[in-house]
Structure 1
Amino acid sequence: MKTTIQFITSVICSISIISCKSQSVDLVAEGAELIQISNEYSFTEGPASDKNGNVFFTDQPNDKIIKWNESDNSLSIFKEPAGRANGLYFDQNENLLAAADNENELWRINANGKVDTLITNFEGKKLNGPNDLWVDLHGGIYFTDPYYQRPYWDRTAAELEEKNVYYISPDLKNITIAATDFVQPNGIIGTPDGKTLYVADIGDQKTYSYSIQNNGTLTNRTLFTDMGSDGMTIDNKGNIYLTGEGVTVFNSKGHKIQHIPINEEWTANVTFGGKNQDILFITAMGSVYTLKMNVHGVRYTE
């Protein structure tokens, strides 16, 4: 989340449907419409799909994790309170990982809502505020750690000088700095082959790609595009989806190929869900949206 509540404006009180027929690139299914599932939240973030296509997302100001059931389009509370969770991602064992911003921790939540705290600090200093995360093929966890002052914190300054990307080893025993030199690292996503990691520096309006080594280290930092992002996802064609002013799609070479407008002041995050992983699930301000796509996500499909 770029900031906490400054983006929150008046909630649109009616269900809206926005046509996407005019899109020039065939990423969006023919005749598909952007559907607002709900607008009853304060600031939605962190969507993550489970293997059944259900999407979990956060309403951070209200300290909730909500589940969208793809089979009947229903919404229900999965966990409350939720550690002021921001970014979410499922590990290989179907535990929900959460960037728990309230105490600057990383949580692992099982299907019953039981929490294991994976990390609370780095080298004895409190993390800035874990924001977004991605799990590699070995079970290692990359997460971004920007600093956004929260009204529910007692502290007023960061203990760590740098805003880094960190890596937690697959055995969860070691945490190391994976990437540095950011203003505010935020969105993060990796390719399904485990070879490339994308990190958005929303504070510097840039997104970088990195080569992932077998031991989890990152090399070959390369500018992907001169655009930052709050959240990110990837499709089966290798296209990267960035958020902010709607959803902007870039191909794997960093060329902009499509923009999906969202009638909200800010679009925070995006993922693929649904049983066929072909539903683009979008969190934007107090709302959540879905859009049927021709492409699909890569986490649970071949």
Structure 2
Amino acid sequence: MKFQATLLSLALCLCSSIAFGQIVDKKNLIEKNASLEKVADGFGFTEGPAVTRLGDVYFSDQPNNKIFKWSFFTNKTELFKENAGRSNGMFVDKDGKIIACADEKNQIWRIDEDGSHEVIIESFQGKKLNGPNDLFITPSGTMYVTDPLYKRDYWTREAVSEQGGEHLYLVSADRLQIFKVDENLVKPNGIVGTYDGKTLYVADIEANKTYKYDIIEDGFLTNRQLFTERGSDGMTIDVKGNLYLTGDKGVWIYNRKGEEIGHIPVPEKWTANVVFAGPDRKTLFITASEAVYKIRMKVHGTY
């Protein structure tokens, strides 16, 4: 019986390993002997990780309409804000404010450290946005926002685009002007840019593609190129220019040329987003369905 039990245990472990998969790290980006660690679970669906100057992370539990804060030094997760506007993608700006895609009412919010908020964008040319999903802010303050249309069960309006499509927007650094900068996307979603503010990456999740743009002096985009034949829900970037994409089987890592160089499997139904955390920006923090995870890296992130 003991031998049979051992065989059964081995078989179960093997099946679990096959189902979960092994980490692939072709360029030694992950710290030696590091493994994926679950930080916290019990959420509805986690999204929008945004790192603070000190390396802590805010993230949202969108179905439960809450924002949580994870502390790097204590490894504890605490409730930060209820009634969070169904926040999705978020970014901490240079003033320490959380800028959140609050798609409950198709808005973008600025949230203070005490949890109070103000609406900074709620329409374009007098018409509702579809439902801001994710955003990126350059060092100069220019903001880019993806605006796909996902029908939400908490909406009281019709799930029809008043904008006539699903677009990518530019918001000026003073937040007074907003422009469409790409109207030729099926469903724009994940977004990130380089730290020098010269390059932007945007995932068209429904077309299963990720594009690369040059950012010119006035913030407008030029030279759109296909980066890789993979879409993404959320994404981040490291100091070497490697791009980290998310989806149904964890996190994929691509080099500057768009070549796949790594894969971090995550044992959840969906991996939504990712950010580099910690004061050294060497902890990869991952939001995935009902839980959040972390793994230590050799390479630094840029935000």
The alignment's TM-score, normalised by the length of structure 1, stands at 0.91
Q: Does 1:288 align with 2:292?
A: yes
1:158: how far off?
A: 2.0
Note closer, same or farther for the CA distance 1:19–1:204 as it changes in structure 2 (3 Å cut). Answer: closer
- Highest Rg: 1 or 2? 2
Q: Does 1:226 align with 2:239?
A: no
Residue identity matched to 1:86:
N
Give runs of aligned pairs for residues 1-302 of structure 1, distance below 5 A.
Answer: 23-156=25-158, 157-244=160-247, 245-299=249-303
Secondary structure of residue in 2 paired with 1:61: helix
- 1:127-172 Cα shifts (integer Å, max 9, x gaps): 0000000001211110100000000001222212121111110111
Report the Cα distance in structure 1 between the residues aligned to 2:237 and 2:211, rounded to whole angstroms.
14
Secondary structure of residue in 2 paired with 1:121: coil
- 1:173-224 Cα shifts (integer Å, max 9, x gaps): 1001121211110000000111100000001000000000111100000000
Q: Contact conserved, 2:143 with 2:171, CA < 8 A, in 1? A: yes
Which structure shows the bigger proportion of residues in helix conformation?
2
Report the Cα distance in structure 2 between the residues aligned to 1:63 and 1:21, rounded to whole angstroms.
32
1:252: how far off?
A: 0.7
- 1:222-279 Cα shifts (integer Å, max 9, x gaps): 0000000000000011000000021000001101101111111111000000121100
Secondary structure of residue in 1 paired with 2:36: strand
Report the Cα distance in structure 2 between the residues aligned to 1:21 and 1:202, rounded to whole angstroms.
23
Report the Cα distance in structure 1 between the residues aligned to 2:119 and 2:142, rounded to whole angstroms.
15
Report the Cα distance in structure 2 between the residues aligned to 1:74 and 1:20, rounded to whole angstroms.
27
Report the Cα distance in structure 1 between the residues aligned to 2:174 and 2:24, rounded to whole angstroms.
48
Note closer, same or farther for the CA distance 1:120–1:231 as it changes in structure 2 (3 Å cut). Answer: same
Q: Contact conserved, 1:191 with 1:234, CA < 8 A, in 2? A: yes
Report the Cα distance in structure 1 between the residues aligned to 2:256 and 2:195, rounded to whole angstroms.
13
Residue identity matched to 1:270:
V
Q: Contact conserved, 2:233 with 2:245, CA < 8 A, in 1? A: yes
Q: Contact conserved, 1:66 with 1:75, CA < 8 A, in 2? A: yes
* More off after superposition, 175-184 vs 224-233: 175-184
1:113: how far off?
A: 1.2
1:94: how far off?
A: 0.8
Q: Contact conserved, 1:21 with 1:30, CA < 8 A, in 2? A: no
Report the Cα distance in structure 2 between the residues aligned to 1:106 and 1:34, rounded to whole angstroms.
32
Q: Contact conserved, 1:211 with 1:221, CA < 8 A, in 2? A: yes
Report the Cα distance in structure 2 between the residues aligned to 1:285 and 1:292, rounded to whole angstroms.
20
Q: Contact conserved, 1:241 with 1:247, CA < 8 A, in 2? A: yes
Q: Contact conserved, 1:35 with 1:290, CA < 8 A, in 2? A: yes
Identity of aligned residues (%): 49
Question: CA RMSD of the aligned region, Å?
Answer: 1.3
1:84: how far off?
A: 0.3
Structure 2 gap ranges (5+) = 1-19
Secondary structure of residue in 1 paired with 2:63: helix
Q: Contact conserved, 1:20 with 1:32, CA < 8 A, in 2? A: no
Report the Cα distance in structure 2 between the residues aligned to 1:277 and 1:124, rounded to whole angstroms.
40
Q: Contact conserved, 1:166 with 1:179, CA < 8 A, in 2? A: yes
Residue identity matched to 1:164:
H
Residue identity matched to 2:185:
F
Note closer, same or farther for the CA distance 1:274–1:20 as it changes in structure 2 (3 Å cut). Answer: farther
| Counterpart residue number, 2:9 | none
Q: Contact conserved, 1:20 with 1:28, CA < 8 A, in 2? A: no
Residue identity matched to 2:190:
G
Q: Contact conserved, 2:142 with 2:173, CA < 8 A, in 1? A: yes
1:280: how far off?
A: 0.2
| Displacement over 3 Å in runs of 4+ | 18-25
